[in-house]
C-alpha cells in the first residue's frame, strides 16, 4: 500500500522535501515501518508500506522535518474496515476487493430490523443475501431496540 500525503503552506505546494514517515501498529504502539518518503510532484510525497495488513490499524506520522511546526506534520490512520474485512473473509491486499466492499457499504440495501441484537443488516448486491450484521447502540453504548414491524430501510442505489 502506498501512503501518500502533501505538504503545503499559504504560498502553495512545498517541493524539494525529504519527509520522514513513521508507521505504528495501533494495538501495541510498536513501530512497524519508517523511512524517507519519495517526492511525486506538486507537493505530494509517497511511501510504499509493503508490510501493510488490511486487518490491522495503523497510525502514521509524516514529518516535513525542515518546515515550521505549523506546516511540518501530517497525521494519517488506516484500518477502519479491518474487522468488517475479517467478517467477510477478504484477507488479502486486494485493493479492488476492498474498494468493492466499501462501495457495498455505501450503496447497498441496509435495514434496521426488528429486535435488539444483530439488527443492522447490510445486504449484498442481490438485495437478499446478508453480507454483514451489527448491533445498533446509542452514544452511551445502550442497545437500540427496533420496534416490531417498524423496519427502517435504505434501498440500493442511494
CB 39 within 8 A of CB 84: no
Q: What is the pLDDT of residues 7-39, one digit of tens each?
A: 998 888 999 999 999 999 888 889 999 999 999
Q: In this model, does residue 75 exceed pLDDT 80? A: yes
Query: Coil, strand, or helix at residue 18?
Result: coil
Domains of the chain, first to last:
2-78 (2.60.40), 82-154 (no CATH)
Q: Which residue has the cell 501530517?
A: 74
Q: Identify the weakest region by mean pLDDT among 72-81, 125-134, 140-149.
A: 140-149
Q: In this model, does residue 80 exceed pLDDT 60? A: no
- Three-state DSSP string of 111-158: EECCECCCCEEEECCCCCCEEEEECCECCCCCECCECCCCCEEECCCC
Output the pLDDT for position 71.
Answer: 87
Q: What is the pLDDT of residues 85-109, one digit of tens each?
A: 444 444 444 556 667 777 777 777 7
- CA end-to-end distance (rounded Å), the chain: 30
CA 125, distance to chain mean position in Å, is 21
Nearest CA-CA partner of 62 in 52, 51, 75: 75
DSSP 102: H
% of the chain residues with pLDDT over 90: 28
Amino acid at each position: 500500500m502506498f501512503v501518500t500525503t502533501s505538504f503545503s503552506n499559504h504560498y502553495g505546494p512545498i517541493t524539494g522535501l525529504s519527509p520522514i514517515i513513521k508507521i505504528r501498529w495501533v494495538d501495541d504502539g510498536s513501530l512497524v515501518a519508517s523511512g524517507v518518503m519519495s517526492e511525486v510532484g506538486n507537493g505530494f510525497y509517497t511511501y510504499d508500506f509493503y508490510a501493510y495488513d488490511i486487518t490491522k490499524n495503523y497510525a502514521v506520522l509524516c514529518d516535513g522535518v525542515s518546515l515550521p511546526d505549523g506546516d511540518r506534520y501530517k497525521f494519517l490512520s488506516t484500518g477502519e474496515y479491518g474487522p468488517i474485512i475479517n467478517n467477510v473473509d477478504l484477507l488479502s491486499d486486494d485493493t479492488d476487493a476492498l474498494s468493492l466492499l466499501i462501495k457495498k457499504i455505501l450503496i447497498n440495501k441496509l435495514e434496521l430490523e426488528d429486535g435488539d441484537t444483530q439488527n443492522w443488516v447490510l445486504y449484498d448486491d442481490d438485495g437478499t443475501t446478508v453480507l454483514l450484521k451489527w448491533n445498533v447502540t446509542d452514544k452511551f453504548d445502550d442497545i437500540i431496540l427496533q420496534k416490531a414491524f417498524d423496519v427502517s430501510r435504505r434501498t440500493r442505489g442511494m
